[in-house]
Amino acid sequence: MAALSPESLLSVWEQSVRRHPIDRALLLFAVAEPHTPPDSLADAPLGRRNAALMELRRNSFGSRLDAWADCTACGERMEFTIDSSQLPSPPRNSNTTMEIAGYRFHLPTSRHMARLTDTAALEINTQQLLYECAASAETLPDDATALSELLDAVDSAMEAADPWAELSLAIRCPVCGHERSFAFDIATYLWEEIDSHARQLLDDIHTLAKAYGWSEPVILALSDTRRAAYLGRVQA
């Protein structure tokens, strides 16, 4: 998988900036897997999508990821760094369905998540996802207790089958010692980096075009080192 070049980064940014986060993630997925038919990407398990986005991120910006989270106990902002090599290996199992308690379920996909965007409550989301992923939702139990037990079983089985669908990181607050886990969303993380790099690149193009009269393609054709060298001279 190739890294994002300056030209492709600006193109991706331009196409993504006004899209819904799910559509944006699918566009990045298409960039990460250019040989996969675009129409099939929405039906790929979330773990496969996220693993592809992580590889695209690693090739474009490196393996180090700087992140932060607020302690839910004392409010301290915790800054930390992880390396993509520390994350669990993406599952190699190509199965996209599983059978639990006699019911068959599909692993969650972008298409499933898109159908839940109008659902506000987490509890409703979780239960609705169960129905969305069920091969035959009409056969699921009506009893609330039985449905809750099935939901727990499905949640555990899906987490084991596709851990990259929702990566979870465990951290300890250095101030109060409280331990917590939080979901790491690679699609959002990668997009925020692309957005930041694109806006900086546009500033650089503006500066060099104004100083030298160069066109955007000429400036983008410069290596990062040469572009920085010219910027340094302009700013001096």
Q: Do both 177 and 77 map to the same domain?
A: yes
Within-domain flag for 207: no
- Average pLDDT taken over every residue of the chain: 90
**What average pLDDT score do residues 154-171 get?**
89
**pLDDT (0 to 100) of residue 122:** 46
Query: Band of the pLDDT at 149, cuts 50, 70, 90?
Result: very high
Are 152 and 178 found together in one domain? no
**pLDDT (average), residues 83-99:** 83
Task: Indicate if the pLDDT at residue 72 is higher than 80.
Answer: yes
206 within some domain: no
Per-residue pLDDT tens digits for 98-115? 999 999 999 999 999 988
Within a domain: 195? yes
- Residue 88 one-letter amino acid: P
Bigger pLDDT: 27 vs 123: 27
For residue 220, is it left (φ>0), alpha (ψ between -120 and 50) or beta? alpha
Domain presence at residue 223:
no
Residue whose pair of structure tokens reads 């190699």 in the numeric block = 92
Closest to 26 (Cα-Cα) out of 11, 4, 48: 48
Q: Is residue 37 part of a domain?
A: yes
Least confident piece of the model among 6-20, 109-123, 132-146, 158-172 = 109-123
Q: Do 131 and 26 fall within a single domain?
A: no
One domain for residues 146 and 189: no
Indicate the length of the chain as a whole number: 236
pLDDT computed for residue 56 by the predictor: 96
In this prediction, residues 71-89 reach a mean pLDDT of 87
When pLDDT is cut at 50, 70 and 90, the band that residue 135 belongs to is very high
Average the pLDDT over each of 18-32, 47-61, 122-136, 161-175 and give the range with the smallest value. Answer: 122-136
Query: What pLDDT, on a 0 to 100 scale, did the predictor assign at position 29?
Result: 97
Is the domain of 84 the same as that of 112? no
Whether 69 shows a pLDDT value over 50: the answer reads yes
Is the domain of 85 the same as that of 101? Answer: no
Domains of the chain: total: 2
Mean pLDDT of 169-184: 86
Burial of 29 (0-12, 13-18, 19+ CB in 10 A): buried
182 and 72 in a single domain? The answer is yes
Asked if the model's pLDDT at residue 207 lies above 80, the reply is yes
The rounded percent of the chain whose pLDDT value lies above 70 is 96
Q: Is residue 213 assigned to a domain?
A: no
- Please check whether residues 147 and 186 belong to one and the same domain: no
144 lies in the same domain as 105: yes
Tokens read off for 148: 């809750």
Confidence (pLDDT) at 221: 95
The residue from 131, 161, 191 where one domain ends is: 161
**Residue numbers of the domain that contains 41:** 6-89+173-201
101/83 same-domain check:
no
- With a cut of 60, say whether residue 119 has pLDDT above it: no
- β partners of residue 182: 169
